[in-house]
Chains A and B, each alone.
Chain A
Amino acid sequence: MSENAKKPKRPRGRARLLEGKCIACGGRCEAACPVNCIVLDEAGAPIIDAPKCIGCTKCVKVCPASALEMSFTSQELAILAELEKSGTAVEEEDPEAAAIARLQAAYRGVWVFVEQEDGEAARVSWELLGKGKELATKLGTGLAAVVIGHNVEHLCSEAFCYGAEKAYLLDAPVYAAYRTQSYLEAMHHLINSHKPEVILMGATGMGRDLAGAVATRIGTGLTADCTGLDIDDKRNLMQTRPAFGGNIMATIMCDKYRPQMASVRPHVMKMPDEQKGATGEIIRSDYQVGEDSVLAKVLEVIKDNDATNQLDIGGAEFIVSGGRGLMGPENFAMLQELATELGGVVGASRSAVDAGWMSHDRQVGQTGKTVRPKIYIACGISGAIQHLVGMQDADLIIAINRDKDAPVFEVAHYGIVGDLFQIVPELTRQIKELKKNKGKVN
């Protein structure tokens, strides 16, 4: 290493393995090395090609057993000692980290994509504005809404009422109906122009489609279906979500790239209070995507408006479900009462649908609907695996069955072994009572 007479360069040393300490973790050191100077031997321990080592200390930091250290020649040790004495030790910057920090400094602001259809906003967008405000405050930056569509300016005002300070508006006929390509180009343009550091989207059909496309185009990270969002001390967004079949909660960070993207399911974040009359700044963009360049064309929209018997239980937050134990179609009225008190819907297992007690659109299970409600109450349902597939991701499962060995109790959080014809009406009565008393207390 050459010595600079004016300012002695701090020797970086070379990495060295401490004998006997390696736990053969699988080669994190090998993976971390930017110059590929580490190979693993048969026992899984690192062999370091010392002349190639640039002393970046990445392997030392990543080793879970602290089995690596930086080693210095006697000359280097002498320099280090001198630097220590003279106190002119300059902490050399890790060039890579410096570059990242510079890049990220350019990105500021929390954005929430406002999903809309025919000028009507999806409720999840407002929920995200509430959370977004929290994040923006922690980051010391502003909250903006992104509104893309045709004749959708009124949504900007609505966004202000839910906490947005700015609204980026792209209003043009080409954005009238959602198409991946046009919205992707629009978002790309906005992101490049204004560089937000966080983008939140609702994990709806449209959101899932757009978020992934945007993240891939920009070349950044996206965590889908987050249940928790927070900011750490390095301005990183901490994105928390269940993983491995719900067995663990993982917190994921996108620490090298910006913007950090996350999507959140509806009804996960709290709906903020509406501040009527709030105002903000509308930033209009006239960026247009050429209609001819968009390959997908919306030819016809067919709405399924028959809401009488057809019901999409897939989106319900509370589901009270009945199975063979209900004995007959007339008993489902009892479940409907409970569902109404909870503000939810009635579902059914395969047996009930096969018996003709409920229509097929209510069927929960392998060949019916997969539901992820907040609360799933399974009444008289044995819990055969084909049913569990459809509801095992519910946040809270309550099972009511007179058979204590019913498999449903294996997945239920709470179970009541008993006669559902007594339990369900009692449950309904008590909830009504609770609601009445709550009113009195207030």
Chain B
Amino acid sequence: MTPTPIVFAPLFILATAIFVFSCWKRLSLTCLGKGDNRLDNIGRRIADTLGYAFAQRRVLAKPSGMIHLIIFWCFLVLLLANGEFILQGFFPSISFSKLPDMAFVLVLKAIDIASLLALGAVITASIRRIIAPPYPEARNSFEAFFILFLIAVLMLAYFGINAAKMAAMAVATRQIAIETFPISGWFVQFVPAGNEKLFHDLSWWIHAIVLLLFMNLLPLSKHFHIITAIPNVFLRRLEQPVLPQREEFKAGNSFGIDQIDGYSWKELLDTFSCTECGRCQNACPAHLTGKPLNPRQLIHDLKINLMQNGTALRQGQTAVKALIGEGEGAVSEEAIWACTTCMACLESCPVFIEQMPKLIPLRRHLVEMQAKFPEELLNLFENIEGRSNPWGIAPSERGKWANLLGERPFVAGETEYLFYVGCAGSFDSRSKQISVALALLLDKAGVNWGMLGKDELCCGDSLRRLGNEYAFETTAVKNAALFNELGVKKVIVQCPHCFTTLQNDYRQYGVELELIHHSQLLVQLAESGKLPLNNRVKELGVTTYHDSCYLGRHNGIYDEPRQVLELATGRPPKEMERNREDGFCCGAGGGRMWLEEFTGERINLVRVKEALEQQPDTICTACPYCMTMFEDGLKDLHKGGDVQVKDIAEVMAEAVLTKL
């Protein structure tokens, strides 16, 4: 069989048509989604695409990512080879040999090397998938091994074509060819003498058919990401952190999402961009402790749901497969509630899929449309709605932690900083100590600060993360009015949840505040000399620092808390294995502080054990939730006597306020 255009051309056209149809069938489903403008800031988007999609920045965060980098770049180089191949199928006279000699050698050498690297990479990938898969199910993925196999066949077929061509040459030219292209040249020995043309044609057709087969397998498998990943990165969400949208509370509106077309088109595109690499699930604290939530599985289930409901939804009917429920293609309620909103999944995804933000609208639906949420939240919602704090304590008690400090009202036009204490700092007996430490430090540094006292309302963070958007809106509107009335501009907070809510979420309510987390302020004050470091605190011994998710991944504050500790103790804290962007959640975010954990291991215990590996004397936190989780965890592990937990403000207070 010769590579005759008469056979190849229609075959190619048919295969391509099927391919295009397959792609369209899936991608057109994204049109069912709501609108979303993702074409702002084109310059930044291009830069990000180059950095993340082409330089594979996040892929390389894991060492095994090197395998993918090689395959990716080899594919790009081999686009040249395959381009020539396909054109040759139509017009046999097209060939690189028509190029000037230098270019010809360069191109073919590059293709040779790329093919070998790709072959090596897929073999390594296969071995790795068997002996050290990213997650156990990956070992059994037929489609993964099949694709790797097909790539290997393509590479070998390419070598076969070249080898056959070389074998058919006159001895002298063959020798030169083998020397110039040693890789293809090595395969010449396998070409049976006298059957060079047959070998060539066989290799050619194997290459052709496998190529067309490979192309058509893409939309049907997770390898669709080859088409969708780069656009997905280009269209990524630029705002940080990811914020839910406001809801319009009008009669007749529906709230939250319970059908797949409630998501935006970009969120639906996400489901087609997943390579099922498992980085997200291996970072997810819920999954790692045995909860039914698995971010990778979530994206997969959303994709299945979309595809199963596509026909019905396109005809304007209701979905046949429910979005919230059990089994494949649905998200279970337990999984929905298991999320701590720590953002580890978003941080780890190489193609910028947003897993966690897809859960919040589901929570909104359960809370606002069905009133179906874990029992423990009844108390929480009632207490915040009625008394504006999660524990239902009389609001008049709020300012009492500062009784010994005297009246510190925030006077509009006079006070520079509002110290927004937060509910924990006002009511929780352990967190009150942080408030006191911070207040004393502020006084020492001569900061002009005031607080709202009993007029302070809960920021509402837990409400928003749990999907009770209506109660959140009520709280936010009140708070916004209060801040605007008092002309509040600069706010000091000790709680990262208050930080992110007042800084970011409240922008949606017309409030632009300059938030300063106490770690940032303490560094500023210490470095400008306003806080004299009298006593480099030695008694705290070996310290280690736990990154708060809402401070770290949500708002990018990693250095300042560490700087506080270094300034106060004289040396930087020991780092835990999973730190900074990879930090492991304490388990209290996403409203889970108020919920029980019934499945698997306690998230906070896992993190406490990880901290204890550093053999610290003091574990340092910068968030009242983390503080509570760590203290409880240490008590549960009976380590309460050996290891203590301190907030960074308390550490700094010991350095500044005690004299040697």
Contacts and interface: CB of A to CB of B under 8 A. Distances in A.
Contacts of B376: 366-367
A71 interface: no
B39 to A, nearest CB: 45
A388 B391 contact: yes
Q: Identify the interface centre among A244, A351, A354, A366: most chain B CB within 10 Å of its CB.
A: A366
A384 B429 contact: yes
B394 A389 contact: no
Contact of B379 (A244, A324, A384, A389): A389
B594 A245 contact: no
Interface string B268-296: 00000000000000000000000000000
B444 interface: no
Nearest to B380: A366
A149 B594 CA distance: 40
Interface in A387-435: 388-389, 392, 407, 410
Interface in A354-378: 354-355, 360, 366-367, 370
Contacts of B379: 366, 370, 389
A247 B429 contact: no
A103 to B, nearest CB: 34
A380 to B, nearest CB: 13
A351 B635 contact: yes
A36 interface: no
A247 B635 contact: no
Contact of B428 (A355, A360, A385): A385
A385 B383 CA distance: 13
Interface of A is mostly: loop
Nearest to B375: A367
A340 interface: no
B635 A245 contact: no
B392 interface: yes
A386 B391 contact: yes
Contacts of A355: 636
Q: Identify the interface centre among B379, B380, B383, B430: most chain A CB within 10 Å of its CB.
A: B379
Interface in A239-264: 244-247
B594 A367 contact: yes
Nearest to A247: B394
A389 B386 CA distance: 14
Interface string B75-111: 0000000000000000000000000000000000000
B644 to A, nearest CB: 15
A354 B636 contact: yes
Contacts of B202: none
A351 B634 CA distance: 12
A245 B391 contact: no
A244 B635 contact: no
B237 to A, nearest CB: 33
Contacts of B490: none
A324 B638 CA distance: 11
A367 B337 CA distance: 14
Q: Identify the interface centre among A245, A324, A355: most chain B CB within 10 Å of its CB.
A: A245
A410 B429 CA distance: 10
B51 to A, nearest CB: 44
B144 interface: no
Interface residues of A, number: 21
Contacts of B393: 245, 385, 392
Given A324-B635, A366-B376, A367-B594, A244 B394 contact: yes
Task: Report the interface size class on chain B.
Answer: 20 to 34
Contacts of A354: 636
Contacts of B380: 366
Interface in A88-143: none
B383 A389 contact: yes
A247 B393 CA distance: 11
A386 B428 CA distance: 9
A245 B595 contact: no
Contacts of A360: 596
Nearest to A388: B391
Given A247-B396, A389-B392, A367 B596 contact: yes
Nearest to B392: A389
A367 B595 contact: yes
B197 interface: no
Nearest to A386: B391
Interface in B557-598: 594-596
A424 B353 CA distance: 58
Interface string B376-394: 1001100100010011111
B427 interface: yes
A355 to B, nearest CB: 7
A8 B594 CA distance: 72
A384 B427 CA distance: 10
Contacts of A366: 376, 379-380, 390-391, 594
Contacts of A388: 391
B383 A245 contact: no
A351 B632 CA distance: 8
Interface in B387-433: 387, 390-394, 396, 427-430
Nearest to A354: B636
Contacts of A410: 429
A355 B596 CA distance: 14
A372 to B, nearest CB: 13
Interface string A287-331: 000000000000000000000000000000000000010000000
Contacts of B396: 245, 247
Interface in B174-215: none
Contacts of B636: 351, 354-355
Nearest to A410: B429
B358 to A, nearest CB: 26
A160 B297 CA distance: 65
B635 A385 contact: no
Nearest to A384: B429
B653 to A, nearest CB: 19
Contacts of B429: 383-385, 407, 410
Q: Identify the interface centre among B380, B392, B427, B595: most chain A CB within 10 Å of its CB.
A: B392
A370 B379 CA distance: 8
A312 B428 CA distance: 28
A185 to B, nearest CB: 25
Contacts of A244: 394
A355 B605 CA distance: 13
A367 B594 CA distance: 6
B394 A245 contact: yes
A245 B596 contact: no
Interface in A61-107: none
Contacts of B390: 366
A389 B595 contact: no
Contacts of B594: 366-367
Contacts of B427: 385
Contact of B391 (A246, A324, A385): A385
A22 to B, nearest CB: 26
A360 B374 CA distance: 15
Contacts of A407: 429
Contacts of A384: 428-430
B423 to A, nearest CB: 10
Nearest to A351: B635
Interface in B319-374: none
Interface in A317-351: 324, 351
Contacts of B595: 367
A77 to B, nearest CB: 49
Nearest to B376: A367
B395 to A, nearest CB: 8
10 contacts: A245-B396, A246-B394, A354-B636, A360-B596, A366-B594, A367-B594, A385-B427, A388-B391, A389-B383, A392-B393
Given A245-B394, A247-B394, 16 more contacts: A245-B396, A324-B635, A351-B632, A355-B636, A360-B596, A366-B376, A366-B379, A366-B594, A383-B429, A384-B429, A385-B393, A388-B391, A389-B379, A389-B391, A389-B392, A407-B429
Among all A-B residue pairs, the 10 with the closest Cβ atoms? A245-B394, A367-B376, A407-B429, A389-B391, A367-B596, A385-B428, A385-B391, A385-B427, A389-B392, A354-B636
